[in-house]
Chain A
Amino acid sequence: MSTDSRSRAWRWLRPVLIAAVTWFVGSALFAPWLNPWLTWKMQRDGETIMLLQRAHIDLMLAREEAHSDWLIEKRWPKEARVPGVHDPAEAVWTIDVPAEFEVRFRYTDLFPAHSGLRGTALILRIDPQTQVWSCRPGTPAPPASLTPMDCRVSQPWTLVDVLTLVLVLAFVAMAGVAVLVFVARPAAILSIRDPQRVLRHPLEGLPTLDRHLGWLRHRSQLLLAAGVPTIRWREALRHVADDAEHRATRLATRIEARSIRAKDWALPGHVHAWTLPASLPVALERLWLYQPDPTLPAEDIVRRLRELPNGQDVVLVLSPSVDHDTALRAFANDPANLCVCADQATQTEWLLQPSATDVLVNLLARQLRVTRISPYQTRGGVTRPSAFFGRESLLARVLHREPGNYLLVGGRQLGKTSLMKAIERRFEGHPRVCCHYLSLRDHRLFERIAADLRLPADTPIDALVDALAERAGGRRLLLLIDETDLFMRHEAQHQYAQLNALRALSEEGRCHFMLAGFWDLYEAAMLDYASPIRNFGEIIHLGGLERDACVALATEPLARLGVRFTDATLPEFLATTCGQRANLVAIACQQVLEHLERHQRLVDPRRLHQALQSEAMADALAGWARLSPDPVACQIDRILVYRVAQAFHAARSDAAPITLASLLADFDTAGIALEAEMLRRSLARLQLAYVLKRENDGEHVVFAVPLFASQFHAGEVDALLGRELASLGDALRGQDG
């Protein structure tokens, strides 16, 4: 017999047993003639039964004799007897007349002692008007179980009787509650005791729980304590009864996802394609929701899931019943697949918790490789709001003012695009400002705008702005133009023709601009005194991220995945080592995640060190060798970097720190007559690129990112520096020649 059928039988047997026990105890106390045990016991006593039958006949005869005497004599006889019984030793009754119209029958010693009848009495009385006999127990009264039916007359209740009744009723009430507990199942009681349990009650059991809570009059109180609004509770109850389509839509709505019925899936059941919102704090854009056919055994569903072709999309499987939970969960817990199982309890949580998104994220983090959903974006402009940290003061400068022109200058991978995208996101749906992001790929700004608006390439800028204004619907226009270096380079060579048009548009208040770029933009804005861009707009220098934001970037996304640092100082150390560069912090954290073992959730110093020494980090640190289109300028840049690296490796031997003067002296020593202005520009470029920084009141030049030094091997820096100096000497002599 299986466990299931045993428990089902017990479910029925239990109340039957309780009822039987209650009946037995109750009848023994109040209706012994109905009590099977007492009845059985009495029926086993044949002698007493036989005597009782004889006593009954004798009683009838004696009664009729007394009645006849009264009718004949017209007065009630002084004594009564059983006709025909002369030997008192054979008599079952001793009969006397206690009062007029009454006859008292007392059981003789002929009855066995154990019957309890000896000496007990019954009193029969005739009503002279109606001539109807009545019977009542005498003193002492025979046992209730042996008292004839017509002699069981009620008597006024004594105090003992009342107290006994109260006691019995209390017992019955307790028994009733006990029965209720068993019938209503422990869940209701446990939920009342701990309201949070209701959030993880199996989905399929919610209607029953709801009914029982209703019986116990605890529903509202419990929902209040659990923090579940009634409307959400009702939705959850409706969800249980809904069809697959409505279920998918309701669950998707709870996380602001879009659900579309998917076809062409061989899986038995229903599949929906979900597009997840950008606000989801993990990197997952979409998933497949699978609601299996509930009639299929769990093993069959797992087999079919295993047979799915290896895709890159996550499949979220909704367990159709508690019976399916274990097998589906075990399959989903295997990190080798991309299946996630929402068991019955999780589905309830999804519907009842204030944030269903948290439920989904926890589920994904538990059952998938964390790298699959890592929220860290290590390349390109950050597109997900949850992956963008800090820059609050810069954002406030742009967002909380009237639209104006801005020049956003900073090195590569420092977050210019991320900041512009954050600005675009914040202005989304703004009542007064319409913001538009545009990434240039060459100098042709107007053609780019035209292509974006799907207008002919030769459309004049006025018409383009008119088209943009029409699209903005009366709101003020702010155009965010990214990657403007090639544009600025071209403009510098062509008298800033396009830039003058932009300036005119902004002066007319028709459109404002934020231009983002690196060296060419910086050069035009800061170093070219003839450039019309000098007063074009406010210059925003983009450097490292704020320290707190760096720490938040290092800890918060990890925490969402259930990962944390063993030591609270590690995130601070990470921020310092990465020079507060957001992309490096993100890469380090991503590397940490990639090397975490399954179920490991702690990041120790050794693991962090490994991440900082990883190839991905080295890859991100490369790419500084050609910051300018001018090859000579690049050579000077490289020489400065090698010189600082040389000083870094010699730091232990108390080598003199690098200063502008020492750098000039180095060039002189190498026989290179370098103009101080070229060196100053080079330093400015490397500072803007966040390769070098000045410290000690701007006197000493050091690496902006301490980790940057790790890409130079002590032994090779001298050789590289020597070769670059020689090459620069040749190049400059060639120019002079």
Chain B
Amino acid sequence: MIRIIIQFFTIFVIYLIGNLIVTWLHLPLPGAVVGMVLLFIALLLGICRVTWVERIAQLHIKHITLLFIPSIIGVLRYIGIFQTEGLKLAVILIASSLVVLFVTAYTAEYYENKKRRK
């Protein structure tokens, strides 16, 4: 338990540093993403060992659904939007999801085939 708390604290400090960097440099990026890049670099350089943060990272990702819940509940305030714009939203959601899926898949497939031919 204490190990988990220490690990959480490590991640939390990196998150705060990420936010500070964003504020100082006026970066148009979320602080958490900068924190993610910092942690990745720290792991690569060996400043932070993966065992120091591994368990807390797994715990976050495993229970990430829990963290969405309040935001999902917040949607209830906007329920009216779905009555008026529901169809448009559905079309855009479906079309753009398929675009993401296919563009990613075809680009990867194309590069793999090109590599194979060489």
Q: Do A and B come from one complex?
A: no
Interface residues of B (CB under 8 A from A): none
Interface residues of A (CB under 8 A from B): none
